[in-house]
């Protein structure tokens, strides 16, 4: 070889390796950082069916589960409205071809926009785990072979949640975590139902420990559709979980409660169920009560112990209708992005002070609310409306809509509720009928 050719090959290899390093998997609902963000670059500024649609495939039924991606495999959960069968499906990321499809349950239950395919799957690259709203839980290998199955409802009683169970599992440092935060009283159920955090072995589904989580919330406010979030505090990991009354921090090794923040509803409102999952960054966690009923709180994580009152928050935003009801905020590029469901307004917030950097409203007659959560990457924020409009925003210093795509799928009743996922330079959008893959 000539010296120039050797140098050229080395340069090409360096670029390829750098691209591989930048490519990130999307292994769980809120992505590789558990906050809705990715370090991926070279993502599309616009979502356009003519210019940058890589592929589009039909899904075998609807579901609120976000696509999960590992390498060239894309996983989704789906429920067939006609047969009530629940499926785990794996697609090829490159062309959308179905690699395998596995029926894991036969008794989907739907309630409004929610059905049993609302929890997102989770993977570590060697196995993938699917949880459904009827309690069915399964571990599969990456080729779709069922390794084990169990049912959480059968083991621990009815979920007793008004709109159906929707919590996604968390796979973290060798444990599979499941939250069941529910009403203590439910029609047809005998005795008192406990709320709890459960740690399972990913190898066989066996129970490692179960931690009962008490609350003095009442009725629907006891319920939570949220997913746990791991966060580093003074060099140690904690798990954040929340209901409509409190945020709590837990030891991931034992489930022991380390601290409690709240209450959001000291008058004991009976209808403040929690949908927004915990989010953390810049040394703080961020939370709000349900149904736009309280301020947005920014709370320092350092030094939390025992019960911490809401008055101890580092900052609050208490503007009417600014709080999210169902959309979990995005922490991206050291900024907090919050979507107000009621006003369809996206806000960019300085996370240490609560200072609003900008806000822009997408409130428009004939278009639905937002139930999916924002996703951030490559200087952009991606978000989907229930009526099927997919947006790209600038994550920069001023509010700017870069793109709006009307997919023509979804409605207020059966809407687009799955959050956008990003991996390998691709942007994945899930609707009730299809899975779309966009690229730059």
Tens digits of per-residue pLDDT, 189-242? 888 999 999 999 999 999 999 999 999 999 999 999 999 999 999 899 999 999
- Report CA-CA distances (Å) from 52 to 47, 56, 280, 400: 7, 11, 33, 20
Select from 418, 350, 422 the least CA-distant residue to 380.
422
The token duo for 82 is 């006609």
3-state secondary structure of 10: helix
Q: What residue spans define the domains of the chain? A: 24-439
Q: Which residues of 36-50 are buried (b: 16+ CB within 10 A; e: fewer)?
A: bbbebeebbeebeee
Q: Return phi, psi of residue 51, to 5°.
A: -100, -35
Select from 115, 118, 120, 130 the least CA-distant residue to 81.
115
- pLDDT given at position 429: 98
- pLDDT given at position 411: 80
How far apart are alpha carbons 5 and 83 in whole angstroms?
60
Select from 382, 348, 331 the least CA-distant residue to 35.
331
CA angle at 97 for the pair 104 and 416, rounded to the nearest 5°: 65
pLDDT band, very low/low/confident/very high, at 410 (cuts 50, 70, 90): confident
* N-to-C CA span, the chain: 35
Query: Which CATH number is 24-439 given?
Result: 2.130.10.10
- pLDDT given at position 290: 79
DSSP-assigned states of every residue in 144-170: S-EEEEEEHHHHH-----TT---PPPE
pLDDT band, very low/low/confident/very high, at 406 (cuts 50, 70, 90): very high
Predicted TM-score of the model (pTM): 0.93
3-state secondary structure of 12: helix
Specify the range with the lowest mean pLDDT, choosing from 127-131, 142-146, 293-297. Answer: 293-297
How far apart are alpha carbons 127 and 135 in whole angstroms?
19
How far apart are alpha carbons 298 and 283 in whole angstroms?
10
- In this structure, the number of other CB atoms found within 10 A of the CB of residue 327 comes to 25
């Amino acid at each position: 070889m000539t010296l120039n050719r050797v140098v050229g090959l080395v340069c090409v290899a360096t670029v390829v390796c750098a691209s591989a390093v930048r490519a990130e998997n999307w292994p769980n609902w809120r992505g590789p950082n558990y906050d809705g963000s990715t370090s991926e670059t070279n993502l599309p500024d616009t979502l356009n069916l003519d210019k940058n649609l890589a592929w589009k495939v039909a899904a075998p039924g609807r579901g609120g589960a976000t696509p999960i991606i590992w390498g060239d495999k894309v996983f989704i959960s789906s429920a067939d409205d006609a047969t009530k069968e629940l499926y785990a499906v794996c697609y090829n990321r490159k062309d959308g071809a179905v690699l395998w499809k596995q029926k894991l349950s036969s008794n989907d239950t739907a309630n409004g926009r929610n059905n049993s395919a609302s929890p997102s799957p989770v993977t570590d690259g060697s196995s993938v785990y699917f949880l459904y709203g009827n309690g069915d839980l399964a571990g599969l290998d990456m080729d779709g072979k069922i390794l084990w199955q169990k049912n959480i409802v059968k083991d621990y009683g009815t979920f007793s949640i008004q709109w159906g169970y929707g919590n996604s599992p968390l796979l973290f440092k060798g444990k599979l975590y499941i939250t069941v935060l529910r009403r203590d009283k439910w029609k047809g159920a005998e005795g008192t139902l406990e709320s709890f955090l459960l740690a399972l072995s990913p190898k066989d589904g066996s129970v490692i420990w179960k931690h009962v989580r008490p609350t003095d919330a009442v009725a629907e406010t006891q319920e939570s559709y949220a997913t746990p979030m791991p966060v580093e505090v003074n060099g140690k990991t904690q798990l954040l979980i929340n209901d409509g009354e409190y945020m709590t921090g837990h030891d991931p090794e034992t489930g022991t409660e380390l601290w409690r923040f709240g209450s959001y509803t000291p008058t004991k409102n009976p209808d403040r169920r929690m949908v927004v999952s915990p989010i953390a960054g810049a040394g703080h966690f961020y939370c709000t009560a349900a149904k736009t009923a309280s301020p947005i709180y920014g709370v320092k994580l350092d030094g939390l112990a025992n019960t911490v009152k809401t008055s101890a928050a580092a900052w609050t935003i208490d503007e009417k209708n600014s709080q999210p009801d169902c959309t979990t905020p995005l922490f991206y590029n050291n900024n907090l992005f919050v979507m107000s469901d009621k006003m369809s307004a996206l806000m960019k917030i300085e996370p240490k002070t609560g200072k609003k950097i900008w806000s822009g409203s997408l409130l428009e007659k004939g278009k639905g609310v937002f139930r999916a959560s924002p996703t951030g990457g490559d200087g952009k924020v991606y978000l989907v409306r229930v009526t099927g409009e997919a947006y790209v925003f600038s994550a920069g210093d001023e509010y700017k809509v870069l793109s709006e795509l009307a997919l023509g799928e979804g409605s207020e009743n059966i809407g687009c509720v799955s959050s956008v996922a990003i991996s390998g330079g691709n942007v994945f959008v899930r609707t009730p009928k299809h899975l779309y893959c966009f690229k730059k």
